[in-house]
Amino acid sequence: MAQAWTLVARPNGMPSIGDFALKEIAMPPLADGWARIRNRWLSVDPYMRGRMNDAKSYAQPYALGEPMAGGAVGEVVESRAPALKAGDLVLHSFGWRDEVVGPAPAFTRLPALDIPEQRFLGHLGMPGMTAYFGLLDIAAAKAGEVLFVSAAAGAVGSAVVQIAKIKGLTVIGSAGGAEKCTMVRELGGDHVIDYQAPGTLADKLAAAAPGGIDIYFDNVGGAHLDAALGAAKDNARFAMCGMIETYNDENPPAIRNMMRIVRARIRMQGFIIFDYNHRIGEFHAEMGRWMTEGRIKSEETIRKGLAATPAAFLDLFSGGNSGKMLVRL
Number of residues that bind a second copy (CB under 8 A): 35
60 binds a second copy (CB under 8 A): no
Contacts of 210 (CB under 8 A, 6+ apart): none
> Distance (Å, rounded) from C-alpha 127 to C-alpha 299?
13
> Distance (Å, rounded) from C-alpha 268 to C-alpha 254?
17
> Distance (Å, rounded) from C-alpha 28 to C-alpha 144?
56
103 binds a second copy (CB under 8 A): no
Q: For the chain, where are the alpha helices, taking DSSP H only?
A: 47-51, 126-133, 155-166, 178-186, 201-208, 222-231, 260-263, 280-292, 309-315
Q: Whole-number minimum distance, CB 300 to a second copy, in Å? A: 25
316 binds a second copy (CB under 8 A): no
In contact, 91 and 107? CB cutoff 8 Å:
yes
Q: Pattern of binders to a second copy over 268-307, x per CB under 8 A?
A: xxxxx--x--------------------------------
56 binds a second copy (CB under 8 A): yes
95 binds a second copy (CB under 8 A): no
| 307: number of Cβ within 10 Å | 12
Which of 210, 254, 293, 318: binder of a second copy (CB under 8 A)?
254
Q: Which of these segments, 11-19, 89-97, 111-119, 240-248, binds a second copy (CB under 8 A)? A: 240-248
Q: For 10-65, where are the alpha helices, taking DSSP H only?
A: 47-51
> At 157, phi and psi to the nearest 5?
-60, -40
Q: Which of these segments, 186-194, 253-261, 294-302, 304-312, binds a second copy (CB under 8 A)? A: 253-261
**Which C-beta is closer to a second copy: that of 163 or that of 229?**
229
Which of 67, 70, 95, 221: binder of a second copy (CB under 8 A)?
221
Q: Which of these segments, 24-32, 89-97, 163-171, 247-255, binds a second copy (CB under 8 A)? A: 247-255
Handedness of CA 190, 47, 69, 32 (dihedral sign): negative
**Which C-beta is closer to a second copy: that of 195 or that of 238?**
238
Q: Which positions touch a second copy (CB under 8 A)?
A: 50, 56-58, 221, 225, 234, 240-243, 246-247, 251-256, 258-272, 275
